[in-house]
Structure 1
């Protein structure tokens, strides 16, 4: 799951390299470590917040359920956040550009509103939008500033692509837990749409990745090399087909989010290679 941290940073850095022909390797490495720490905070704190509503009672891999120690997980998550923000703060200091820290601080604040009280916007079905904004434009803007590079159409295009592919992962996580979401009062997109319409929305969202890429090439934002993305069509088909078949069978559809993670990783890798080449 930590490719969710690695992919946006890698694609954004590749976009900067494609535009400028140079990157700061130390800054890239520090940003990567910091991003992983921030994702650890999001995952651990979400387990803590979900344990308070009872929505995770059937979630075997909840760290709170595994440890039985909510307080420990809460403070461990805060420690991860401090490490992540500390690393980003160091980058901002080295670059003497505090917009780096500002963009990530805003992304973290939005991330908190997803499950954190009193907001819990994820319970209103807004999680995917938050995901798209934080892992897309905000993270890409921070990476851009960290590399002392001005934002470009290429960067914004890549940020939209990764924002959508990341939101797809979250969207897929709802299919198997409709009953738990309803019991906890969570109005996830799948609860609102139903699993059948949700599978259609997933198919359209996935196909959009393969429409945006040639469109951005025609606009001159992406290099033709980014057509490498089409090597990932089999993974996209696997995801759409799997959810289309089993959308209303929780035991069979529950692994679709891991297929979505695989799609996110491979599309990110191909897009990065295309931007670099």
Structure 2
């Protein structure tokens, strides 16, 4: 189907990029799995964290679509998925307005999470929204200066998993509108559980940057792949993958976790298939499906990891 044949509704779906939502849901799933294990699971805060993460992801997608177009990063040579602003499917002001409305909705929902988690959640929420805009917009776009990987690792990995755990723990261990971080609401294991999600989320961006390296170099988008080349990006991918699959082994060494924490290792063959493709290919024709496979890998890994984390004893 050509871009001219797309309806306005279809164009908005493309702009929202629902295929990226596993990257938003995965850290919430893992944080909730650990909360179940530790006996601090709380359904309403977990649900609010899930919806809020989805809104921030969609808002970031709108921001990327808008700012990449107005800054000239999306050209006719683009090999990635359709961008509605650059493609003329939706006018830039409408996309920009949708971005602000989506972020506003996430902030509105966040008022409940602030009630539960207090000032720490207020700070995290505002930083997440600001970083979502600053990824491709503002005076120093993170994605244009090789900082996109850091943004994804921190906000779609560490902050999202730990924040999900925190709001559930705080709902039972702290008074509403707490100012500090109550004891027991951010254990070390929550940070360590976030590492594989952070690593695999970053690898989604690595695949994207390998695919777009040549175009990004001509439009001034200085990703790590552009700055240091394909070899660096592929080594980064392998390092992130190693971190992701080493984490369950560490948890197995902890006495309160069962062998089920190794469930994510079942996804290794799928990860190996993705790796072989990335090490050999650079074209959008091949890497666009690979990008979607990375999203599925992140989702499958996160669900299996959450199940493994949540179980305190095997009943047989």
- Report the TM-score, using the length of structure 1 for normalisation: 0.91
Partner of 1:255: 289
CA contact (8 A) 2:56 2:102 kept: yes
Could you say what secondary structure the match of 1:135 adopts? helix
**What's the CA shift string for 1:220-246, capped at 9, x where partnerless?**
585432100111012101110111221
- 1:76 correspondence with 2:94: no
- 1:31 correspondence with 2:49: yes
Partner of 2:109: 87
CA contact (8 A) 2:144 2:221 kept: yes
1:14 CA displacement: 1.2
1: CA distance between counterparts of 2:202 and 2:108? 26
Q: 1:151 to 1:221 in 2, by over 3 A?
A: farther
The structure having more radius of gyration, on CA atoms, is 2
Residue correspondence of structure 1 range 79-228 to structure 2 within 5 A: 79-93=101-115, 95=116, 97-149=118-170, 150-219=185-254, 223-228=258-263
Partner of 1:53: 71
Which structure 2 residue ranges, 5 or more long, are not aligned? 1-19, 171-184, 312-316
RMSD of Structure 2 on Structure 1 (CA): 1.9
Q: 1:34 to 1:266 in 2, by over 3 A?
A: same
1:181 CA displacement: 0.3
Q: How many equivalent residue pairs?
A: 274
Partner of 1:245: 280
CA contact (8 A) 1:103 1:141 kept: no
- 1:15 correspondence with 2:37: no
1:17 CA displacement: 1.4
Q: 1:197 to 1:96 in 2, by over 3 A?
A: closer
Could you say what secondary structure the match of 1:9 adopts? helix
Could you say what secondary structure the match of 1:2 adopts? helix
1:161 CA displacement: 1.6
1:60 CA displacement: 4.7
1:51 CA displacement: 0.5
1: CA distance between counterparts of 2:243 and 2:209? 20
1: CA distance between counterparts of 2:50 and 2:186? 19
2: CA distance between counterparts of 1:102 and 1:197? 34
Which structure 1 residue ranges, 5 or more long, are not aligned? none
Q: 1:72 to 1:172 in 2, by over 3 A?
A: same
2: CA distance between counterparts of 1:221 and 1:106? 34
Partner of 1:273: 307
- Report the TM-score, using the length of structure 2 for normalisation: 0.81
- 1:232 correspondence with 2:267: yes
**What's the CA shift string for 1:64-123, capped at 9, x where partnerless?**
226231100110111111111111112222x26232222222222233322112011211
CA contact (8 A) 2:274 2:294 kept: yes
CA contact (8 A) 1:131 1:166 kept: yes
- Greater fraction helix: 1
Structure 1, 31-40 or 215-224: larger mean CA deviation: 215-224
1: CA distance between counterparts of 2:289 and 2:306? 26
